[in-house]
Structures are given as C-alpha cells and as structure tokens.
Structure 1
Amino acid sequence: MSNTTVSLTGVPLSVDFHHPEDYFIFIFQIVFASTTVLIAGTVVISILATRALLIQNRFIFMLNTSLCDTLVGMSVYYLGLFDVVDWGYPPRNGTFYILNGLLGVNMLTFMFAQFDRYFAVCFPFFYARFLTRHVIIGFNIYCWIYSYGFVLARNILPLASATQLYVFSIVVFQMIVFIKVIMTVKLYVVARFQVERDPPSAEKESNKESLRIIIFVVISFLVLWCPSIVNIILRYFGGGVTFRNEATNIFVNMARFNSLCTPSVYIWGSPALRQAMIRTVWARVCPRCNRRCCIPFHLD
C-alpha cells in the first residue's frame, strides 16, 4: 500500500505502511480518537443529563472543556489518519485552522476555571453575588468567540498580516501560559493552607475536590503543551523540528493527548460525576452497573 492511497475525500493517508512504525502510528490515532470521544463524550452526556451538576459553576467549565475534548477526538479521525498539515506553514489538506481552534478554546477555558475556583474559595461572598451561573456561561461562550474570531481573522487577512497575527498569537499564548502557572501556584497555596484550616463541612470537601481537580488538569496541560510551545518558538526563529504531517508530529499529539487526560481527571476527582456517569450512561449500556450503583445521588 502506498501513500497515494486515498479515501473518498481524495486526501492521502498519513502513512505509507512501508515500515512497522507506520502501522503503529495509524492504529494509535484510531485508538486515541475513539478513546477520547468515548470518555469525554460520556462526561458531556452525564453533566447535561444531571441537573444537580449543571447548577454548579465548576461543572459548566467541565462541560465546556469536555465538549471541546470530544470534538478534538473526532477531529483526529481526519487530522491523524490523513496526510494533513494544519498546524504550521505551509498548510496541506488543512481545515483552515478550524479543528485546531478547539485547542485554543480549551486553553482559555482552563484559565477562566482557575480564576473561578480562586474567587470561589478566597472571596465566597463576592463570588456568590457577582459570578452567577449566567456570567460563567458567558465566559465559556467568550472562549469560543475569541478563539474562532482569531481563526476567522487569520483566514481572511492577507498572508503578511496573517503572519503578524500568528506571531501575536504566540505572544498571547505565552502570556496565558504564564498566568496559568501563577494561578496554579496560588491555587495550591490556597488548597494547602487556607482550605485545610476551615472547619469540617461539605463545602470544605467540595472546595478541596474542585481545587485538586483544576490543579491536576492544569499541570497535565502544561506538561503536555510545553514541548509544542518550545518547538513553535524555535521554528519561528529558524530552528525546531519539522514533521511530515499531523499524525507524525509527536508534539502536536502530546498536546492533543490533553483532551484524553482532562476528562479522565474529572472522572477520577469527582464522585458525583462518576455516579452521574453510571446512572445516565453506563447503566443503559450495562444494567449490572445500575444495580451496583444503589447509593443515593448527592451533590459534592
């Protein structure tokens, strides 16, 4: 089989199957895409189907990131299985940066989620009065508008202006990463010292759980994204590593792997979300799961 093998879309496959590693890359992309859609999609369905979760602001952020993660998983069926370069210049068989724009939505949502948890724990009265559910939904919508407004501008501007916009986006990206690092440290300090001093209560356990989840999520985000960030900067200055396509770009694959890690951390860190998943999704697939889940549902 050669790399000229085409699908119904006329786009060649990402590998030519001349070497054993080609089979590994192709199978990995299929498994990764399917697993991400399964896990992240289950989180989306569980939150949407459970009103007790939807009324909590932190689960709105989880819903937004999990929706992005589900779409990222679906995008891998194209970006990972076909000969596509959508991440850099010159693009080849790309999607006009539409699919990669999902990663920008996730990045902004994580940042807003960090501020949400910080104000919820450190300034509860201000948080309860001003950061209502509608405001939080507005922040999540803004993440989509900003990310795809940038994608639209990058597509319609002339090449020289689009290149300048791309450089500007790299600077903004690094600023957001810097803010995320600072907020992660602040949230850790809050979780380590302030929350631990609070008297035992359901609110204390909820705050500890939400802080633990967001800290783990952001740390995994930074670890998986840092190699790609460094390579993008090096490539702009004439260095870095260039890959044949998206499927063979190990740095981009690491960044996308965040879409599998994030919903997995949500499931691991939230007992309420696990119960909701069993009741709304897995109980329909496996009735035995429903019989085992006989504990009444509680808000965490």
Structure 2
Amino acid sequence: MTQRPDILCIGSVLWDIIGRTDLPMALGNDKPGRIVQVPGGVALNIAMTLRRFGLAPALVSVVGDDPAGRELVAACEGMGLDCGVLTVDPDLPTDQYMAIEAQGTLVAALADAHSLEAAGDRILAPLADGRLGSAEAPWAGPVAIDGNLTEALLAEIADSPLFAAADLRIAPASPGKAERLRPLLRHPRATLYVNREEAGLLTGTRPANAAAAAEALVAAGARRVLVTAGAEMAVDARPGRTLTAVPPPVEARRITGAGDTFMAAHVAAELGGAGPEEALQSAVAAAAAYVSGDLA
C-alpha cells in the first residue's frame, strides 16, 4: 500500500461474464446479444465506483495465482485500486460470475465464489497483523462487506475486536445470500444495503414496498438500513427517522451491479460530508445513471 485507504472493500473480487440482449427472453431461448467479460464481484464493483468518486479503496479478498487472477489484479491496479493486501492463493482458482440480462432485467445468474469461501478468515489477516490494524488498534474507518463471505465468517466479523471501531456497510450480494447477514442485522455499527426481496428474507416478511421493508428491518433491530425497490423508491431508515427518494425515470439497459453502485455512491456522498437526504438522492441518481448506461 502506498497510502492509507479511505475504505476497505471486503468480499468478492472476480470476473463478471455477462450476456445482454435487447430482445425479450424466456426459459430455453437462444437470442442474439453481446457477451462481455469485465472485473466484477460486489466488493470490487463497490470499490470501482468509490474510485470514480475520488476515494482510495483497498480490496480485501482472494484471487488465484493463475492467469485469470493476474489479469484481474493488473486490471484493478490499472484503475487505481489498492491491491496491496489482496490474498493471492496458488491453490485456488480465481472466482467468476455469469449472468444473462434481457431488456435491462436479470434472466439468470450463477456466482462461483467458492475460492472466497474456501479462503475464509485468511483474507482478514491484514486487519490483525498491523498492515491495516490489530486487535489492540483496530481499523477505524468505513468497511464495505458483502454477503459472498460465509455466514460463519460474517458472524466472526460481528464479534471480532478487529472491527470494533469500524463503520460497517453491509450488502448481501444477492437474495440467495441475504440470510447470511443475520449475524450483523442488530450490529450497533452496521448499515445494511438491501433490496425489498432481501429485506423480506431477513425479516421473514413479504413487504409491499421499500418503506414497509425498511420498517420491518428496523423493527427486527437494525440500526440503519437502506432499501431499494428498482425504479419505485429508495428508503433510508433508522429508529425514529425515515427518508425516501424516487429514482429518476430511465430506460434500463443493464442491471448487474446497480445495487453496488447505489451503495458505493451513498457511502462516497457521506464520506464527502453530505447529509442523509443529499446522500440518498446522490445514490438513486448514480444507480439510475448506471442502469441507463450513462455511468461506466
């Protein structure tokens, strides 16, 4: 590391392989479209967006010591991301994610984050050995964490002295992994970023909208939550206070990474001194620009 990072991004750092078509798709369809391979993963998506907002994030994750991993690290460093504490494992392949999108909606996706799960708490060594902190002098600053970590590791983070002074910003990664966040749901320093479906899974409810989803999370003990519901509404809620914002109308051209962009833009706005209302508006605007294809 050449300087102290502004924020740590802990979680998936991998290759996204995404196929997109402007045509409608149903199960079993074979349609013309475009396929791209780009750096991705929730933690990396957040880091890339934070970097575009002028912040200096550090990646805390694992990649394989293979051609895919070396190419990915080179791409990350080329974007100005700090890879100095990234774990490189010669025995694990670099993770990847594959998705198909049609007309700006997700048709299906597979996340292969098995190497991140296998690495477990080894990726957290820099927070214990003095490079980023220690149990006696823990990292004091923001940390973005995604739900591609195992539930056991998330539970360890919830109780660990290594995170005792951190401002935790948590994303589930996908509805299929939302319940992994339960150990952090009532954490006194955690802010959760979820969509309506993920909120329902965490609370065992079927919220009608983002506001109801946020209310259920707060009732379940969450300190602060930000809930999105696509183009409908975004909510920032904590006990005794609820803020809402409606995203500007746009033509959706992509969806993978939209939630990560929302979270990163919100974190960047708050770290830049924005108040809660301004930060929420900044986040919905950035997510809308991303979905429309106007934000790289």
TM-score range, shorter chain: under 0.3
By percentage of residues, which structure has more strand?
2
TM-score normalised by L of structure 2: 0.27
Larger Rg: 1
TM-score, with structure 1 as normaliser: 0.26
Structure having the higher helix fraction is 1
Bigger relative contact order (CA 8 A; separation at least 6): 1
